[in-house]
Structure 1
Amino acid sequence: MKKLILLSMFLCFINAFANDKTHIKTLIIASHPYPEQSTFIKALEEAAKGVEGTQVRNLESIYGYDTRAIDGEKERKITYEYDRIVFLFPTHWFNITPMMKAYLNETWGSVGPGLWQGKEMLVVSTAGGGRSTYGKNGRVGVELADLFLPMKASALHCGMRYLPPLVFENVNISELENYKKAFIERLKQ
């Protein structure tokens, strides 16, 4: 009986992790301008690493802070292997991070329309500001997800399908587990 219970518990444990996989081969490009201060992006990266079918590439871990060090040819070869590209970053002055911009310049910039034909793009971002900053009545007058319109334009230019962004505003450490769960669920779609 004990063996049966242990086997049952083991199978439940395996099933819980087997469900954390994506149906589409996914590359996550992560960036944080101050990685030593990162709480949320680091946690989301770690959560994504547990999802089968994903690969996480952290730009600062690979290239440091040198925006000229990005190997565009190598990054293009890696990107060709994936069907969904996820950009994970904190909102940095109402935009993507400097390293992510450099990545796009070096990897996508000189190639032209249709580069990633048929792939998907998902933007995932965190922001400290909440409703007092974002939204129709906030200081900037637009939703956080709408700040990334240039990413949508880039996706469409490259022949990609732009997925609705996953954004976390007014981030709070007490909600970190919920953010990780929401991110994993999006990766599994």
Structure 2
Amino acid sequence: MNDRSQRHKRSMEKLKAHVDEKVANAQEQRGLLLIFTGNGKGKTTAAWGTVTRALGYGYRVGVVQFIKGLWDCGERDRLESDPNLEVSIMATGFTWETQNRETDTAACQAVWQDAARMLADESVYLVVLDEITYMLKFGYLDFETLRQALVNRPKEQTVIITGRNAHRELLEMADTVTEMQEVRHAFNAGIQARRGIDY
């Protein structure tokens, strides 16, 4: 074995020992709070990927879409026939389109009832609160209401929250936070969103 191969082998042995130690130390079993935030593209797509994974194992999943519900969504269209998936949609569309605080608040509060029910149901393995960060930012939903629902949810239930500018206290509560960082976005160069790629 040449020197380079020996160095590689030693490096991989060290890495394996490190990974094995972390795996051995991970003893706790419970649901997680995951946050996908940041200005980059892919937060909702990542959440739908996890939904697909959970459904693949036969788990019950609830998705509540707070902003993009009236927009075409290839993932939702593909998965909504799965009997283990429940999707609830805030029926006003983008808040910058409606420009009506009272209507948007009422719509948010209505769909929140579905979210609250899912968050209290121990048979729901995964709940996705898609774009809920905007509901907090605009004051359509009180942070304490969300916090209490998250704290009191079933121990085995995982929740994914998506959206830009995640509330500081949400970030502190989370087990895993992923920040999507925009380096370049085709839309900013005048390229239209593409069906089957962007939505």
TM range (shorter): 0.3 to 0.5
Larger radius of gyration: 2
Q: TM-score, normalised by structure 1?
A: 0.43
Q: TM-score, normalised by structure 2?
A: 0.41
